[in-house]
Copies of this chain bind each other. A is one copy, B any other.
């Protein structure tokens, strides 16, 4: 299929959406993911599940299931594993999306495998340099999407510029932010602060914002503390920094919440205090629960993907499936393409550039 043909598989909003779900890789087992699919089905979302049939059938008796017991979720070299294991559940799921039998991909475990299977089978969207992983952060009272959180350790200027458009399209369609404020993660607010790459990208995004494009509002550089303070709806960074930032946030949250819990068991008086305080804290804990977001979005492919965390429960997997369906139905891919096209930020020579930067296929 040529690149031009492929772009025509951008979703038709009037058609129904089916989500291909790789159930392997979850900490609680494939059945937990299938149970999530059963919840999503009750919300009207159609799925095709990939994994060990008997286990999936038990958890989701009504589901359409493709028996694919082989998992590469824990493979140390996901790209090699995707190439060497065509029968792996994630590869079968991605191929089903590529063939048009499903319009979105959910992968319950193994971000690397999802990324590699997506690039090889679903392929990158026309004019996109690099797919990126975008994570809606569990920030209380705000929708903050950070990208890239790990797909691209090294980036060039044009990649980061595209990430801004990709993240903005996600925020508009899936998260319901009419005009997303996009910020660039840096070590200072001023336009001149940051690595030479960040300074260049800042200038480029400013230029596009001043040209009156309505894909997003560029709010300039944002600093580490701004990530959780709602100064931007979308925060753009490279996958190295983004991945460190994401895991640091998780680590700090867990450490503090653990310390509060420990304090609340340290003395009888504190224990009583903790008991009385618990209901009021529940809302906050729900708000920062990563499962409530559904996971990271895999953007930049011809179809949208969602990668929930392997340690999620069925509620989180159900959420991942629901938001993947929404992303496909609201056509994140098409919206991203149109915005990039209007901004003149599409990759100009797609075929050759793609050949040059795809992982080496031997």
Question: Which residues from chain A sit less than 8 Å from chain B, CB to CB?
Answer: 76, 139-140, 150, 153-154, 185-188, 190, 193-196, 198, 223-229, 239-241, 243-257, 259-260, 262-264, 266-267, 269-270, 272-281, 283-284, 288
Contact = CB atoms under 8 A, between A and B. Distances in A.
A187 B150 contact: yes
A57 to B, nearest CB: 35
Total copies of the chain: 2
Contacts of A274: 273, 277
Contact of A273 (B198, B226, B229, B280): B280
A253 B252 CA distance: 7
Given A154-B196, A243-B224, A259-B140, A280 B253 contact: no
A260 to B, nearest CB: 6
A186 B248 CA distance: 11
A150 to B, nearest CB: 6
Contacts of A256: 252-253, 256-257, 288
A187 B239 contact: yes
B240 A225 contact: no
A225 B245 contact: no
Contacts of A196: 154
A260 B241 CA distance: 28
B195 A240 contact: yes
B253 A224 contact: no
A276 B284 contact: no
Contact of A272 (B76, B259, B276): B276
Contacts of A245: 224, 244-245, 248
Contacts of A247: 223-226
Contacts of A243: 187-188, 223-224
Nearest to A248: B224
Contacts of A276: 269-270, 272-273, 276
A251 B227 contact: yes
B228 A251 contact: yes
Contact of A225 (B194, B251, B257): B251
A76 B249 CA distance: 30
Contacts of A225: 247-248, 250-251, 254
Q: Across chains A and B, which 5 residue pairs bring their CB atoms closest together, nearest first?
A: A224-B247, A273-B276, A225-B251, A273-B277, A224-B248
A228 B244 CA distance: 12
11 contacts: A187-B239, A187-B244, A188-B243, A224-B249, A224-B250, A224-B251, A225-B254, A228-B252, A245-B248, A260-B284, A264-B280
B229 A251 contact: yes
A15 to B, nearest CB: 38
Contacts of A246: 224
Which of A153, A255, A259, A269 has the most B CB atoms < 10 Å from its CB? Answer: A255
Most buried by B among A186, A187, A279: A187
Contacts of A275: 273
Contact of A249 (B154, B248, B284): B248
